[in-house]
A and B are shown apart, each in its own frame.
Chain A
């Protein structure tokens, strides 16, 4: 599983997401106000359209902890950015990608061997 350089951090607006293309796989990159970056699948599992990067970035309280979220612009389900878990429906989640920053460049790596769109092991 290799790291892919996707975009300079500076190209990303804060508290919003952008889409990126890796071969023919689409991911959503989210940069929070404090410059933490998350990468998840751009594919919205509810609508089947590649739109996640156009959702609203925010937060939700999960088990007493405030977690960063991304909500689908299509039907508004929110996903926990740390785990990809859908807060509205346990049976759906977003694949999440490892992210690191090298010289101002965002690099991502798939967590799962094989098909990138497979379900990830949920981290938490």
Chain B
């Protein structure tokens, strides 16, 4: 490393530190600085804003921020699990808890906050928690689960002190853990900083409807404990005691400014390292960013201003002159499933301003807009119960509304004049401070061709996600305007996406490719659109995939009902539902493989693959399989592959449900189901998860009470863990949920889009899916159910059907003029006791060029 490379040390490895490192490394001049991050927590920076998802089954690792490339960058050194203990400003050194010292050219303080623990007697009893880090939430969960084990059958009673954003998050967490919860707030209403009395009242009734008790205007005096030092109750300034087992303090945060204090840097009256608009402290070699900084006289407890500060310091270190652009406290939250948003001048402090309120206690909605005295310019607002218009309204703050304010409040007044007419300078993503112009520019100048690319290039929508619908709309409009390059169509024959084509075919009722391409496309099709149309037709009408003209549309695998190998032969993978096979079955598979001299291998999907079958041998092999009670299976095909299963309750001492029986049931139900990409399922008999169900498109994990259903997982190129869709379903409920999920996916996904990316792009994500699948929010559940019933009812063994139909069978010949002569160029050699192909022709051709 050259001497010109300077060293910046960051103390704190939180969200803002991550953004700083990313900003520094992503710029052209980034070679000027190497960076060391000293992080107290034992893990890389993670998404604290999404902390509560820890309880909904998300893997803590899903919360990590920054891809591997960032942390493996040789210019970046992330040191986890180490605390900085001292700053020596004169020597420009930081001392670590390990005793080691590190030199710096520049120091960035990004130490964030402590969860504030109010000075209430008993706040240190066992059973008291705060809510700030993954370790905090893990400890809370461990405690609640231990209580439940010790006292089975008794409810765990929890209370949260603090009725603000954090408190309601914590109350939600308690509920996820199956504990009762009571929220105790000192102020007269919930979320006193974000909503007014009207909004607070509505919020309270929505929260109470979720079985969370609310006590406002209540001061906590003392936490009561028993002899072993365990929490037993709470005492208040007035009112009766409350019996509780767990208390979570969520009463705000305190900047972690102690290092700065002892180093003699200026700190604010209410804490926080004082910085100027360049985020510089009183020492020019030290900056402070994020929640620990006191900028313009105030400490920000939100991530967006922290990100802005991170960008400022990165820019300055690289020679720029950026300054903190200011921030606002707009927020949109989904707490316990209740939407709350407040933005701009929510409390109507501007002189002469007017408030327009829409309240519908039956629907559980309270909305208020604050407008200028002429009722034209939007100044701010509060939305409780339905914040769907937040993403569109917030960027309009400070601009003239195109219509009467009431239009924006009343539901169903038709399309809001939003999105496309948004001024360029409007902030679309407040978490990442991205303007409408930047989103548009990512398409027009940045060459982004999809929402995913726009997200990764601008960062818009990558934090809380609330702006995603708007970002998508802007990006789509820009993409459409750019016209030329960005057809979302399938190929040169269809300008429609797969989902649009599905819809069109469904509406017009067309049943053949010729009809479909004539109506909706042009030309004679290709290897992209023909299989897509085949799949759409299969999903809509069933029938054999080689029937009539459909046979011409199939990719070679579906055409030959087997998977093509590199030498032109095929593999055959008998279906073994749930991986369960009798010894006789195993012996027969062995005999077939032996008789046809097929290379045999156990697959990663709990079945047996036999390779090297020639076209003309396929029907003979299927005949043998059918006679032995098997069917050939799909190891190819955009359709169900396998339902992987563990051994489950029948044998395993930990199993709580019969995973094998369920896996077999699911495999028999969904076999043959055509879809945009392949579908895999897994069923585990308990939470130990031996079937790796969370790596599947639909993963089922047994619980004491039934089944948890996870969706959107896969291995492969971009591994994804499935997300929890529903809990403790009974057998029928589980099947209904998977049915609907699959059909909804099949109808709306893009070509070759697996469930995980589909779910990621689905507006509203898993919450929306849950609404559709469990609550029938779109009113299509009956239709989805019927589609699956049709599939199940019309299923028939594709391979046996070929054996029984001479016309289909005729395809399985090697040569039209020599039907039984094998391909004369196939060559094999022996390896480990089995044969493997030698590519004679391939080698020759490749040498030639």
Contacts and interface: CB of A to CB of B under 8 A. Distances in A.
A11 B816 contact: yes
Given A50-B841, A61-B492, A69-B526, A56 B816 contact: no
Nearest to B529: A58
B367 interface: no
A18 B587 CA distance: 36
B816 A43 contact: no
Contacts of B551: 13, 16
Interface stretch (B157-165, B274-282, B555-563, B796-804): B555-563
A103 B277 CA distance: 90
B431 interface: no
A78 B523 contact: no
B595 interface: no
A83 interface: no
Contacts of B567: 49
Contact of B555 (A45, A69, A73): A73
Contacts of A16: 551-552
B842 A55 contact: no
Contact of B552 (A14, A43, A48): A14
B526 A56 contact: yes
A20 B819 CA distance: 9
A21 B527 contact: no
Interface stretch (B16-24, B191-199, B821-829): B821-829
A26 B556 contact: no
A91 B552 contact: no
Interface in A49-63: 49-51, 54-61
A56 B527 contact: yes
Given A54-B556, A59-B524, A19 B815 contact: yes
B814 A57 contact: no
Given A50-B825, A59-B523, A59-B524, A26 B815 contact: yes
Most A C-beta atoms less than 10 A away, residue of B526, B839, B840: B526
Given A20-B817, A55-B527, A69-B526, A49 B556 contact: no
A47 B527 CA distance: 17
B568 A49 contact: yes
A5 to B, nearest CB: 9
Given A11-B816, A21-B821, A48-B844, A74 B566 contact: yes
Contact of B824 (A24, A29, A33, A55): A24
Interface residues of B, number: 42
B530 interface: yes
A48 B530 contact: no
B816 to A, nearest CB: 4
B846 A20 contact: no
A105 B525 CA distance: 28
A68 interface: yes
Contacts of B483: none
Nearest to B569: A49
Contact of B818 (A15, A21, A68, A78): A21
B90 interface: no
B839 A48 contact: yes
B454 interface: no
Given A48-B839, A60-B492, A71-B526, A15 B564 contact: no
A59 B845 CA distance: 26
Interface in B792-814: 811, 814
A101 interface: no
By size class, the interface of chain A is: 35 or more
Nearest to B842: A48
B552 to A, nearest CB: 4
Contacts of B845: 43, 45, 48
A59 B526 CA distance: 6
A7 B525 contact: no
Contacts of B564: 51, 54, 73-74
Contacts of B816: 6-7, 11-12, 18-20, 29
Nearest to A8: B816
Nearest to A119: B848
A90 interface: no
A18 B559 CA distance: 12
A7 B815 CA distance: 10
A102 to B, nearest CB: 15
A49 B839 contact: yes
A68 B525 CA distance: 10
A54 B849 CA distance: 23
Contacts of A74: 564, 566
A50 B568 contact: yes
Given A26-B823, A54-B559, A74-B564, A19 B841 contact: no
Interface string B162-203: 000000000000000000000000000000000000000000
A49 B841 contact: yes
B843 interface: yes
Contacts of B566: 47, 49, 74
Contact of B841 (A43, A59, A76): A43
Contacts of A29: 816
Contacts of B525: 56, 58-59
A50 B821 CA distance: 14
A29 B815 CA distance: 10
A6 B568 contact: no
A20 B618 CA distance: 19
Contacts of B492: 60-61
A73 B549 CA distance: 18
B396 to A, nearest CB: 45
B527 A54 contact: no
A66 B523 contact: yes
A109 to B, nearest CB: 15
A61 B556 contact: no
B522 to A, nearest CB: 8
A63 to B, nearest CB: 13
Interface in A27-52: 29, 32-33, 43, 45, 47-51
B792 to A, nearest CB: 30
A53 to B, nearest CB: 9
A58 B526 contact: yes
Contacts of A14: 552
A50 B814 CA distance: 11
B133 to A, nearest CB: 49
B815 A47 contact: no
B842 A54 contact: no
B295 to A, nearest CB: 56
Contacts of B555: 56, 73
A60 B823 CA distance: 30
B225 to A, nearest CB: 70
A38 to B, nearest CB: 13
Contacts of B559: 54
Most B C-beta atoms less than 10 A away, residue of A6, A26, A33, A54: A54
Nearest to A14: B552
Given A6-B817, A71-B526, A57 B552 contact: yes
A68 B523 CA distance: 9
A54 B131 CA distance: 61
Interface in B697-742: none
Interface string B565-589: 0111000000000000000000000
Contacts of B817: 6-7, 20-21
A68 B526 CA distance: 10
Contacts of B839: 48-49
A67 to B, nearest CB: 10
Nearest to A6: B817
5 contacts: A15-B552, A19-B814, A51-B564, A56-B527, A59-B493
Interface of B: 492-493, 514, 523-527, 530-531, 549, 551-553, 555-556, 559-560, 564, 566-568, 615, 811, 814-818, 821, 823-825, 839-846, 849
Interface of A: 6-7, 11-16, 18-21, 24, 26, 29, 32-33, 43, 45, 47-51, 54-61, 66, 68-69, 71, 73-74, 76, 78, 91
Given A21-B817, A43-B841, A45-B845, 7 more contacts: A6-B816, A13-B551, A26-B825, A47-B842, A49-B839, A60-B492, A73-B555
